[in-house]
Every structure is written in structure tokens, then in C-alpha cells.
């Protein structure tokens, strides 16, 4: 050997060349492999998954996803689907070690023949190599990337089993229509689960990795069928399918369904609030953490009640349309600039839409007598009923009419509605405007509005805590307040004017008397009043009397939550839309109820009393005061400003509100189990019209909501907490009576009233009883005379009856 080496120049050259090639290969291997990611990381790899949202009943109502992804285990993939992908992509998958030598040589030869032509060569990648490229490398088209891919494929085969690799591949492969993985693609293309796929459909999915955005389009249908049939032939050649089964599958059309939006409850404002809170808590993308909203695969249980949500949406919309009436079209939903390109494409990018009857959102493409409208799907049609003010680029609502569309008006006025459980704080329904598809601004949680008279119950609560009672006499008289040298004197008046005399606190709340409210606020002290506002979460206000009449800003959510505290004996829970959050494996990683019960999970009973949770929430008001206010607010429904709700025949409490202008119309109230609130007003506050009041504009919205969810409202009345005494009083004078019984008559003279111990009024004196009875009999006689004058012939006037002292005395005695 040494002699040959010494005398053979050729041998030495070949040896040096071989050594050089080997050294270059080692160097290339080191350079390519040294910075490659570890294949073992795939053992801990977690597929980015969307967040799934469930409602109060556990049913799926929405998902937060920018891509369609569903993760399955290997056992969940049907055998024909696996075999279709093997036939199309890697028929030797279960026998090679990560790299198919013959496939690689074929790819090298194809690359050499196409070099410089600009045409892309076949890949020749095995399924393992595709996993390496998709999860560990980029999609760069180069020889070095292919070499890195081969190195990683060999490493992957050393740390993962074949089923594990195939499971990862079938869950991650991009297949078009924003779908990653075969289950998501099966839903996107066929609206089926993978277990329900036909052989022809499984073969179609297997062709998608080559060109997912081409084969899924209608104009490439012939190419897709040809490629699908090729895969079916390969399945027969590899023994995966019989010739007859393949022939039958070839005879079938593709059968693709149209692309559709994900199924979701019509609760955009509610679901957006959930999304906002989740992002704040867990982050938005995978870079923000393993439990992010768009990659973490969270399962979220919410308090959304779809029945109540639909009723809230319909009731608010009906109220807005009722107010809008026959007002003409005023302005577009939005405006697009024709100079920025095709208007329908701009509309599609805006994501503006509407879900009301058969209305559609479109953009005006031609104005004038021959007006036309275009829609986001490219459809165009004639537009009738468009006023001269409509311009090209205006985004409007339209309804199908004849061969075209007719302009429809989304009410310019807006508002909000929110319903909550007072025992838990869970928000069951939330509607923040006419339609969340027209804009994400949520007026239930974000709009700062003056609450008007709906704030008065908390002024009265401050008065009750200051020693007043529902029977206390309060002046209904002008009150002026000196604001200082710069502002001068401020005088208050009742809504609609009028006033005079003194009346019970109950009457003042039922009739929403501004002057009485200010007198109560002054009696209790404005610092105590604003402290009460802050305690129940309405807002932080200065100690000015105008805030006692609702001049400060707050939200529907805060007002409903404050009323929920009233209905729950003064115990208030923070409003919540999320009950708890689970990670992708089902572990609870966050819950709204943070109470602990350490003894609940003990392995064996230790003989002690059953462990119980401590009461949740926060006590923000004396339970007795809360009940007294609720009891008075029931009178608002019975005979006060919300009397139109009386025929619901339910134990309800509530309060209307109308702010100066009027610019806002409110109603907040409910039952022991459900509290809801609503307002109507322009986003930029302006006069709603002199006829508008909370009782005739907002209360009907609440009424419709109750009527549409009647099965959810019980006849159970409010229960008094310990320490409350129910005493019979004269409703007008507020004095205690012992004779007579309260009745269901809304105008009954004798009613039950709620008092704290030792605050109930003394029994009426004999003089008071005689005076009250005398006034009552005189009122009866006055009515009798009026009736006689109306019924008697004109020539025969009825004689005036004179009451006899003996009769009066007898009536009093009988009482």
C-alpha cells in the first residue's frame, strides 16, 4: 500500500480529493447543524389553538380565532384519511428514517433541470421533513434550507415515534381557507368532522398540501378533480383502497361547501368584553404566554344567557326604532373614499355589517336618480328611496325590494341594556348599541351618561341612614343654594314645575320629586350622599346638590350593579362576564369566585359541621336600608313614574330617570333575581324632545325584555332582612294606623311600610283620625256631587247633600 502511495500520483490525488470532500462535508454539516433548533422541543410543542367560549348553560357560543385549528390525537384520525395523505405525500413514511433517498435524488435531478428557469422544482420532502420545515424552519426556497430540513428530519425520527410525527403533521399542515390541520379543513371544506368523511373527500384533503389556495377555488375545480383522482389511483397502487371503491370515489363531484363564518351567538358586545378581559389577563398571541387568547386553547365559561341576550337585543332595538319613528335619513353609517380604490373591496375590509331582518350594509357606488349600491361580496344592485343627500362612498343599510334594494335608516339615537344577577354579579345579557357589527363602542360599559333620577334611591338611602324613615314628612318646596361669589345662587325645581306642601319620603320617591330629593340630601348632608354613591360604585362626585339629581357621569353597568346591591340586602358583587377559565388540558387557571374552602376537599369527614363558603361580595349598605329603598321603589311601579310596568303582575322595583334637555331617558330595576337597566340618548348628547321621559321611552324597553323572558321571572316577592318591622301606615300622612288592612288597590289608603326598630311612627291621635276620616268622607261626597251633576237632566239640579255629625261619628267608630 505504501509503495502504491509513493509511486501513484493518481492515488494520492484521489485520496486528497476524497479527504477534501469529506472535510467540506463535515464543515458544511457543522455550519448547517450547529444553530439548528433541537428536535426534542417538538416533544413539548403545543399547537396554537383558539379560545372557545361557552355560555351560562355550557354550550359553545363563540371562539376567538384568526386561524381554524382543532387538535386531535392519532387515534382520532380515520385510517382512509391517513392512507390518503401517505399516498399523496409519503408512501414510504413508515419505512424510511426521515429522508427518502430516491425522493431526494429525484428532487435533485428536477432542480438541476429547472435551474435558472424560475420554475420551482418538486420538493421531494417526506412527511417528517415537512414537519421540520413547518415547525422548526422557514419556508425559504434554497438548497441550504433543504439540507437543514434533512438533518432535522433525521433528528426528529430519533426522538419521536411515527404516530407522534404523523399526529403532529395532520394537526399542523396548512390546508387553505385559514385552516391548519385536517379537522379544521374538513369543517371548512365539507362542514364535517374527519370521522364522517367519504373516501373522495379524504383524497381531496390529501391534495391540498401541494397548493391549498388553488385547489380550493371553484375556477380550479378541474385541476382539483384530476389531482384527487391521481391520489385515489395511488391509494389503489399501494393497497390502501380497492379499485371499485376508488372508481366510485372518482365519480363523485368535489362537493365543497361555501366558506362560512364561524357559528356564534349574536352577542357581539358581550363577547368583545370577554375578549378584552381575557387579553388583559392572559395576553393576545403566543409571544405573550402559553395561555394567550389566540394560541393558548383556552376554554372559557361565561355568564352569557343567550335567551336573555336575544331579548335584550330585540328590546333595545325596538326602543330605538320606536323613538326614531318616521324621521328621515340623516347620515351614513360610515364614509369611504372612492380615491382609495374599489369601494366594495374597502367595504369588505371594514368588516361593517348588520344582523337585523334582511337588512344588508352596502356602499353607494352611484348617487342621484340612478343610484346603485355595492356589497362586500361584490354584488351590485339599484338603490331606491335614496335622498339627494346620499353621496358616492356613503355606507348605508338597505333592504331587498323588488329587483333592487331600498334605503333603510339605522337610528342615529343609541343606548344600552344590561341584565345582571344580584346574588352573584354575573352579567347575563349586554347590548351596547343597535348592532356591534356597526361599531365596537359598548355603551353599556364605556358610555359615560348622566343617570338623572335613577340616582335618587341612593340619596334616599343616605337619608334613611341619617335617621329619616319612609314616612318622614319632607318639604316639596323651592330650595336655593348659595354656590359662592363666582357662581351665585342655584335654585332647584321639580321636573315639569309645581310643588308645595310636605309629603312622605315614599311619595317623593314614587313621584320623583326633585325638590324633596334636594331637601333629603341637605338633611343627610351631601358628604354622606356622595359617600353612598361611592360605596355602591356609581362614581366619585363632589359635594354639590346637583349630583343628588343625577348630574354626574356613570355607566349602565355601574347603575345596574348599584341597584343589584339594593335587591341583595346591600351586599354587592363585582359585575362579571367570565365565571372561570381552563387551559387546553382542562385545568382551571382563573375564576371570578375567589373564595376558598380548605376543608371541602378533605379525604375523610372529621365529624365537624359541613364546611360552607363565606358570603361573597361586599356589604356596601345597611341591609335594612336597602330593603326600605326597594320597598319604596316597588311603589314606583305600583303608582309612580313607572306605572306602565304594573300590568306585568310581577314583584318589581325600579326607577325612571330623565336628564335635563332631556338628553337621556333611563330605567333601572327588576326583581329579587334579575336586575336590568337601560338608557336612550345620542352619543353626542342633545335634546331628545320635550315629550321624552324615562317612563315613556326607557321603561317600555325593560317591559319588552320581561315579556320576552317571562319564564325566567318568578312571583317570589322581596324578603325583609332581620331587623325590619312592617307597620301599617296611612299612605298619605305617613302616620301609623291600627284599623283597616292593606289591599292590592294601588291607591289604598293603608299600606305596609318598612321601618327599622324604634323608628316607626306613633299611632295617630284621635284628632288626626277624625280629620282624616272627615276629609275622606268629604272627598266621597264631592265625587258623588260631580257624578250627580253629570247624570241629572239640565233642568233639575241635584240638591247638595249636607253631612251629618252623627254619620261622621258612626263612620269613624266603625273604622
Q: Looking at residue 118, what is its pLDDT? A: 45
Looking at residues 407-424, what average pLDDT do you find? 96
* Contact residues for 122 (Cβ-Cβ < 8 A; gap 6+): 106, 107, 110
Cβ-based burial of 267 (10 A; exposed 0-12, middle 13-18, buried ≥19): buried
89 is a catalytic site residue: yes
Q: Looking at residue 263, what is its pLDDT? A: 65
Residue 799, pLDDT > 50, answer no
Residue 807, pLDDT > 50, answer no
C-beta of residue 1 within 8 angstroms of C-beta of residue 116: no
- Which H/E stretch holds residue 759? none
Q: Looking at residue 802, what is its pLDDT? A: 36
What b-and-e string marks burial along 584-609, b requiring 16 or more CB atoms within 10 Å of the CB?
A: beeeeebebeeeeeeeeeeeeeeeee
C-beta of residue 428 within 8 angstroms of C-beta of residue 305: yes
CA angle 472, 478, 479 (to 5 degrees): 80
C-beta of residue 430 within 8 angstroms of C-beta of residue 309: yes
pLDDT tens, position by position, 528-544: 999 999 999 999 999 98
Residue 221, pLDDT > 80, answer yes
pLDDT tens, position by position, 678-736: 999 999 999 999 999 999 999 999 999 999 999 999 999 999 999 999 999 999 999 99
> What's this model's pTM, rounded to 2 decimal places?
0.83
> Which string of DSSP letters, residue by residue, matches 79-127?
HHHHHHHHHHH-TTTTTSSS--HHHHHHHHHHHHHHTTT-PPPP----H
Residue 295, pLDDT > 80, answer yes
Residue 101, pLDDT > 90, answer no
Confidence of residue 806 (pLDDT cuts 50, 70, 90): very low
Residue 647, pLDDT > 80, answer yes
Q: How much of the chain, in percent, has pLDDT values that exceed 70?
A: 85
Strand ranges, E, within 224-355: 299-302, 334-335
- Of residues 95 and 665, which shows the higher confidence score? 665
Confidence of residue 117 (pLDDT cuts 50, 70, 90): very low
Q: Looking at residue 764, what is its pLDDT? A: 56
Confidence of residue 801 (pLDDT cuts 50, 70, 90): very low
> Which string of DSSP letters, residue by residue, matches 677-734?
EEEEE-SS-----TT--IIIIIHHHHHHHHHHTGGG---PPP-PPTT-EEEEEETTT-
Q: Looking at residue 33, what is its pLDDT? A: 56
Neighbours of 173 (CB within 10 A): 22
Which phi and psi (to 5°) does residue 32 adopt?
Answer: -80, -35
Q: Estimate to the nearest angstrom the gap between the alpha carbon of 587 and the chain centroid.
A: 24
Q: Looking at residue 784, what is its pLDDT? A: 74
> Which string of DSSP letters, residue by residue, matches 203-239?
HHHHHTTT-HHHHTSGGGHHHHHHHHHHHHHHHHHTT
Residue 99, pLDDT > 60, answer yes
453 is a catalytic site residue: yes
- Of residues 400 and 609, which shows the higher confidence score? 400
Query: Closest Cα to residue 431, out of 449, 421, 445?
Result: 445
- Which H/E stretch holds residue 359? strand 359-366
Cell readout for 594 is 375567589
Q: Looking at residue 217, what is its pLDDT? A: 84
Q: Which of 63, 186, 436, 453 is catalytic?
A: 453
C-beta of residue 572 within 8 angstroms of C-beta of residue 620: yes
C-beta of residue 87 within 8 angstroms of C-beta of residue 240: yes
Residue 106, pLDDT > 70, answer no
Q: Looking at residue 205, what is its pLDDT? A: 95
Confidence of residue 30 (pLDDT cuts 50, 70, 90): low
Residue 814, pLDDT > 60, answer no
- Which H/E stretch holds residue 180? strand 179-180
- Of residues 27 and 248, which shows the higher confidence score? 248
Radius of gyration of the chain (CA): 38
Q: What is the C-alpha separation between 296 and 283, in angstroms, rounded?
A: 10
Looking at residues 268-282, what average pLDDT do you find? 96
- Of residues 475 and 142, which shows the higher confidence score? 475
Q: Looking at residue 130, what is its pLDDT? A: 84
Residue 338, pLDDT > 90, answer yes
Q: Estimate to the nearest angstrom the gap between the alpha carbon of 553 and the chain centroid.
A: 23
Looking at residues 54-78, what average pLDDT do you find? 92
DSSP conformation class of 804:
-
Query: Closest Cα to residue 592, out of 300, 298, 168, 229?
Result: 300
* Contact residues for 733 (Cβ-Cβ < 8 A; gap 6+): 504, 764, 768, 772
Query: Closest Cα to residue 365, out of 398, 330, 338?
Result: 338
Residue 808, pLDDT > 80, answer no
Q: What is the C-alpha separation between 743 and 745, in angstroms, rounded?
A: 5
- Of residues 156 and 185, which shows the higher confidence score? 185
Cell readout for 173 is 399542515
DSSP conformation class of 768:
H
Looking at residues 159-183, what average pLDDT do you find? 90
Q: Looking at residue 560, what is its pLDDT? A: 98
> Which string of DSSP letters, residue by residue, matches 425-475?
-BEEEEE-SS-GGG----TTTT--B--GGGGHHHHHHHHHHTT--TT-EEE
> Locate cell 352573584: which residue?
424
Cell readout for 524 is 343627610
Q: Which of 83, 89, 557, 753 is catalytic?
A: 89
Query: Closest Cα to residue 278, out of 131, 64, 558, 562?
Result: 64
Q: Helix, strand or coil for residue 187?
A: helix
pLDDT tens, position by position, 511-529: 999 999 999 999 999 999 9
Q: Looking at residue 144, what is its pLDDT? A: 63
Q: Looking at residue 32, what is its pLDDT? A: 57
H helices of 580-698, where? 623-639
Neighbours of 344 (CB within 10 A): 20
- Of residues 96 and 575, which shows the higher confidence score? 575
Residue 207, pLDDT > 70, answer yes
Looking at residues 335-342, what average pLDDT do you find? 93
Q: How much of the chain, in percent, has pLDDT values that exceed 90?
A: 63
Q: What is the C-alpha separation between 694 and 665, in angstroms, rounded?
A: 4
Lowest-pLDDT range of 455-459, 645-649, 805-809: 805-809
C-beta of residue 276 within 8 angstroms of C-beta of residue 230: no
CA angle 427, 430, 436 (to 5 degrees): 145
- Mean predicted lDDT score pLDDT of the chain: 86
pLDDT tens, position by position, 459-503: 999 999 999 999 999 999 888 877 777 777 777 777 777 777 899
Amino acid at each position: 500500500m505504501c509503495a502504491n502511495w509513493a509511486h501513484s500520483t493518481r492515488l494520492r490525488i484521489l485520496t486528497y480529493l476524497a479527504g477534501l470532500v469529506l472535510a467540506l462535508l463535515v464543515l458544511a454539516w457543522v455550519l448547517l447543524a450547529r444553530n439548528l433548533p433541537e428536535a426534542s422541543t417538538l416533544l413539548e410543542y403545543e399547537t396554537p389553538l383558539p379560545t372557545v367560549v361557552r355560555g351560562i348553560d355550557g354550550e359553545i357560543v363563540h371562539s376567538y380565532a384568526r386561524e381554524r385549528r382543532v387538535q386531535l390525537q392519532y387515534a382520532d384520525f380515520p385510517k382512509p384519511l391517513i392512507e390518503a395523505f401517505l399516498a399523496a405525500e409519503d408512501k414510504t413514511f413508515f419505512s424510511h428514517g426521515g429522508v427518502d433517498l430516491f425522493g431526494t435524488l429525484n428532487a435533485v435531478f428536477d432542480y438541476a433541470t429547472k435551474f435558472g428557469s424560475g420554475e420551482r422544482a418538486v420538493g421531494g420532502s417526506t412527511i417528517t421533513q415537512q414537519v421540520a420545515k413547518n415547525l422548526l424552519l422557514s419556508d425559504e426556497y434554497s438548497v441550504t434550507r433543504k439540507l437543514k430540513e434533512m438533518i432535522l428530519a433525521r433528528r426528529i425520527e430519533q426522538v419521536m415515534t411515527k404516530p407522534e410525527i404523523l399526529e403532529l403533521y395532520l394537526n399542523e399542515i396548512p390546508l387553505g381557507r385559514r385552516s391548519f390541520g385536517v379537522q379544521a379543513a374538513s369543517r371548512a371544506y365539507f362542514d364535517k368532522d374527519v370521522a364522517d368523511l367519504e373516501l373522495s373527500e379524504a383524497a381531496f384533503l390529501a391534495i391540498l398540501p401541494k397548493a391549498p389556495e388553488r385547489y380550493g377555488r371553484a375556477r380550479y375545480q378541474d385541476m382539483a378533480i384530476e389531482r384527487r383522482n391521481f391520489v385515489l389511483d395511488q391509494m389503489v397502487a399501494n393497497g390502501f383502497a380497492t379499485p371499485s371503491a376508488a372508481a366510485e370515489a372518482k365519480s363523485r363531484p368535489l362537493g365543497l361547501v361555501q366558506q362560512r363564518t364561524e357559528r356564534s351567538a349574536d352577542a357581539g358586545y358581550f363577547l368583545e368584553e370577554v375578549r378584552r378581559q381575557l387579553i388583559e389577563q392572559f395576553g393576545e398571541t403566543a409571544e405573550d404566554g402559553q395561555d394567550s387568547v389566540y394560541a393558548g386553547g383556552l376554554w372559557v365559561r361565561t355568564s352569557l344567557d343567550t335567551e336573555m341576550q336575544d331579548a335584550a337585543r330585540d328590546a333595545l332595538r325596538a326602543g330605538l326604532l320606536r323613538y326614531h319613528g318616521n324621521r328621515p335619513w340623516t347620515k351614513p353609517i360610515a364614509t369611504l373614499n372612492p380615491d382609495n380604490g374599489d369601494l366594495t373591496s374597502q367595504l369588505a375590509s371594514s368588516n361593517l355589517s348588520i344582523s337585523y331582518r334582511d337588512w344588508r350594509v352596502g356602499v353607494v357606488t352611484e348617487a342621484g336618480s340612478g343610484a346603485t349600491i355595492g356589497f362586500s361580496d361584490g354584488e351590485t344592485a339599484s338603490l331606491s328611496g335614496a335622498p339627494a343627500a346620499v353621496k358616492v362612498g356613503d355606507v348605508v343599510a338597505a333592504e331587498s325590494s323588488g329587483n333592487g334594494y331600498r334605503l333603510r335608516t339605522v337610528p342615529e339615537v343609541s343606548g344600552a341594556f344590561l341584565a345582571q344577577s344580584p346574588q352573584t354579579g354575573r352579567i347575563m345579557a349586554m347590548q351596547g348599541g343597535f348592532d356591534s357589527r356597526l361599531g365596537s363602542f359598548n355603551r353599556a360599559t364605556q358610555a359615560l351618561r348622566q343617570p338623572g333620577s335613577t340616582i335618587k334611591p341612593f340619596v334616599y338611602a343616605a337619608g334613611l341612614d341619617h335617621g329619616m324613615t319612609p314616612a318622614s314628612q319632607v318639604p316639596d318646596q323651592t330650595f336655593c343654594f348659595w354656590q359662592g361669589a363666582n357662581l351665585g345662587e342655584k335654585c332647584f325645581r321639580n321636573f315639569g314645575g309645581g310643588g308645595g306642601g310636605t309629603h312622605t319620603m315614599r311619595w317623593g320617591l314614587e313621584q320623583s320629586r326633585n325638590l324633596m330629593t334636594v331637601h333629603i340630601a341637605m338633611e343627610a348632608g351631601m358628604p354622606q350622599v356622595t359617600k353612598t354613591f361611592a360605596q355602591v360604585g356609581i362614581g366619585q362626585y363632589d359635594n354639590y346638590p346637583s349630583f343628588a339629581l343625577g348630574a354626574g357621569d356613570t355607566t349602565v353597568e355601574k347603575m345596574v350593579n348599584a341597584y343589584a346591591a339594593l335587591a341583595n340586602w346591600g351586599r354587592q358583587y363585582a359585575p362579571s362576564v367570565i365565571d372561570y377559565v381552563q387551559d387546553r388540558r382542562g385545568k382551571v387557571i382563573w375564576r371570578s369566585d375567589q373564595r376558598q374552602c380548605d376543608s371541602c376537599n378533605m379525604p375523610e369527614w372529621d365529624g365537624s359541621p359541613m364546611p360552607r363558603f363565606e358570603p361573597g361580595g361586599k356589604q356596601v349598605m345597611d341591609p335594612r336600608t336597602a330593603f326600605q329603598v326597594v320597598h319604596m321603589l316597588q311603589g314606583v311601579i305600583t303608582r309612580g313614574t313607572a306605572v306602565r310596568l304594573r300590568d306585568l303582575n310581577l314583584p318589581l322595583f325600579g326607577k325612571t330617570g330623565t336628564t335635563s334637555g332631556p338628553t337621556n331617558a333611563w330605567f333601572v330595576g327588576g326583581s329579587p333575581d334579575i336586575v336590568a337597566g337601560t338608557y336612550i340618548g345620542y352619543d353626542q348628547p342633545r335634546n331628545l324632545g320635550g315629550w321624552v321621559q324615562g317612563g315613556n321611552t326607557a321603561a317600555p324597553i325593560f317591559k319588552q325584555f320581561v315579556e320576552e323572558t317571562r319564564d325566567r321571572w318568578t312571583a317570589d316577592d322581596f324578603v325583609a332582612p332581620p331587623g325590619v318591622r312592617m307597620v301599617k301606615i296611612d299612605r298619605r300622612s305617613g302616620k301609623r294606623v291600627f284599623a283597616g288592612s292593606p289591599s292590592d288597590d294601588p291607591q289604598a289608603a293603608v299600606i305596609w311600610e318598612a321601618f327599622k326598630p324604634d323608628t316607626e311612627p306613633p299611632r295617630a291621635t284621635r284628632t288626626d283620625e277624625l280629620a282624616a276620616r272627615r276629609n275622606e268622607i268629604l272627598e266621597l261626597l264631592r265625587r258623588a256631587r260631580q257624578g250627580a251633576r253629570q247624570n241629572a237632566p239640565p233642568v233639575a239640579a241635584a240638591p247638595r247633600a249636607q253631612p251629618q255629625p252623627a254619620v261622621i261619628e258612626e263612620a269613624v267608630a266603625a273604622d
